[in-house]
């Protein structure tokens, strides 16, 4: 166990790997948005206001296909429903006396990776602190929005001449998720991970990726309740 | 800027904020430290991240498999070697791109 400071600066340091992962992914989003006919301002606005990677990529496809706004909104909202579980899971790991007065601000930045990194830090003995949460959140958010802006400026055809770079960037998000999973891996989590994985594959193949994601998360969390 | 894109972003963005902040504001899952709710929440993190790993890798399984194998192997190897999320992520991405270029 270690007791490290939980200030804003250490939050920014913890955000560094996330920012390094976010920037190229957001860059790819900016490029894809321009390719799909979105203006630079629209693409940056999506990153500023939605701030959820996978659903932003899906939003491009939905808007470009002319889907009604309410149908698109419903799909994207359902996709992000998983975030409901992050706050309570984090506060549970932080302990009953953890401060949350300024959660109205840092909670906005509670993305998959920020949640995973914060949880990993707590699991490794760091004490919870709100300035720390602002540090991780702002670092990641800045990388996401600036990556999008640079991607839109590069334009839709930016990566066409470099298919290997495009392929490598495309693997950035899975690699980041896998590394986060390894960082929180414990013996007790193995059955949870196995059930979540199987349920995700089953739900995706049988119904849709969104059902697979929701089903995997709920089935995995339920497996944690059942296990002794 | 198109009105429909702004409306879509606002609806989804507000929902995201409600999902991320609402449960903390309402104090969901607190109070009783033990019990089923506590175990459910403790398992949520690993479950969510495992789901996202599978969901993001699944669409790549159908395409060229060699870069995928190289990418995953690089993430695992660098994680074991350095225990660093950033190095493992970057190594995985580099290995994927490199093998893609060679294949």
pLDDT reported for residue A59: 86
What distance lies between CA B36 and its chain's CA centroid? 25
Pair A172, B74: CB distance under 8 Å: no
pLDDT reported for residue A155: 80
Query: What Cα–Cα distance (Å) separates residue A80 from each residue in A28, A31, A77, A119, A208?
Result: 20, 23, 5, 19, 15
Which sequence spans correspond to the domains of chain A? 8-185, 186-228
Residues A33 and A37: their CA atoms lie apart, in Å, by 6
Residues A95 and A53: their CA atoms lie apart, in Å, by 29
* ipTM of the prediction greater than 0.90, yes or no: no
As a whole number, mean pLDDT of residues B49-73 equals 88
Of B9, B33, B51, the CB nearest to A96: B33
Task: Confirm or reject contact between B29 and chain A (CB < 8 A).
Answer: yes
Encode pLDDT of A68-90 as tens digits.
888 888 878 877 777 888 898 89
Contact B96 A175 (CB under 8 A): yes
> How much of chain A is helix, strand and coil, in % rounded to 5?
80, 0, 20
Residues B41 and B24: their CA atoms lie apart, in Å, by 13
Residue A158 token pair: 């930016």
Region of A66 please: left (phi>0), alpha (psi -120 to 50) or beta.
left
Cα pseudo-dihedral B8, A100, A84, A67, rounded to 10: 0
Residue A64 has pLDDT above 80, yes or no: yes
Residues 68-127 of chain A with CB under 8 A from chain B are 69, 72-73, 76-77, 80-93, 96, 100, 103-104, 107-110, 112, 115-117, 119-120
Residue linked to tokens 């992520």: B89
Pair B71, B96: CB distance under 8 Å: yes
Contact A91 B29 (CB under 8 A): yes
Task: Confirm or reject contact between A21 and chain B (CB < 8 A).
Answer: yes
Considering A34-38, A83-87, A194-198, the range whose residues carry the highest mean pLDDT is: A194-198
Residue A133 has pLDDT above 90, yes or no: yes
| Exposure b/e, A139-149, CB count within 10 A at least 16 = b | bbbebbbbbbb
Q: How many helices (H) and strands (E) does chain A have?
A: 12, 0
Task: Confirm or reject contact between A17 and chain B (CB < 8 A).
Answer: yes
Residue B42 has pLDDT above 90, yes or no: no
């Amino acid at each position: 166990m270690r007791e490290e400071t939980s200030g804003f600066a250490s939050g920014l340091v913890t955000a560094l790997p996330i920012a390094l992962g976010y920037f190229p992914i957001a860059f790819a989003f900016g490029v894809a948005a321009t390719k799909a006919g979105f203006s630079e301002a629209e693409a940056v606005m999506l990153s500023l206001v939605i701030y959820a990677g996978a659903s932003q990529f899906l939003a491009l496809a939905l808007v470009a296909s002319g889907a009604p706004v309410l149908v698109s909104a419903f799909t994207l909202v359902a996709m992000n429903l998983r975030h409901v579980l992050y706050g309570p899971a984090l506060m549970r790991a932080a302990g009953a006396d953890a401060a949350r007065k300024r959660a109205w601000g840092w909670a906005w930045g509670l993305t998959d990776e920020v949640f995973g990194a914060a949880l990993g830090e707590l699991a490794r003995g760091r004490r919870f602190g709100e300035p720390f949460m602002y540090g991780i959140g702002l670092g990641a958010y800045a990388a996401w929005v600036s990556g999008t802006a640079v991607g839109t400026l590069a334009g839709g055809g930016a990566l066409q001449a470099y298919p290997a770079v495009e392929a490598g960037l495309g693997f950035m998000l899975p690699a980041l998720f896998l590394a986060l999973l390894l960082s929180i891996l414990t013996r007790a989590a193995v059955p949870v991970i196995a059930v979540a994985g199987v349920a995700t594959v089953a739900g995706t193949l049988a119904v849709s990726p969104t059902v697979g994601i929701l089903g995997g998360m709920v089935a995995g969390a339920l497996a944690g309740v059942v296990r002794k | 800027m198109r009105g429909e894109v702004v409306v879509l972003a606002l609806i989804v963005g507000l929902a995201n904020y409600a999902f991320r902040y609402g449960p903390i504001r309402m104090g969901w899952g607190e109070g009783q430290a033990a019990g089923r709710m506590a175990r459910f929440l403790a398992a949520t993190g690993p479950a969510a991240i495992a789901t996202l790993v599978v969901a993001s890798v699944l669409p790549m399984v159908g395409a060229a498999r060699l870069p995928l194998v190289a990418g995953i192997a690089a993430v695992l190897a660098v994680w074991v070697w350095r225990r660093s999320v950033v190095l493992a992520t970057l190594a995985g991405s580099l290995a994927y791109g490199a093998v893609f270029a060679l294949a």
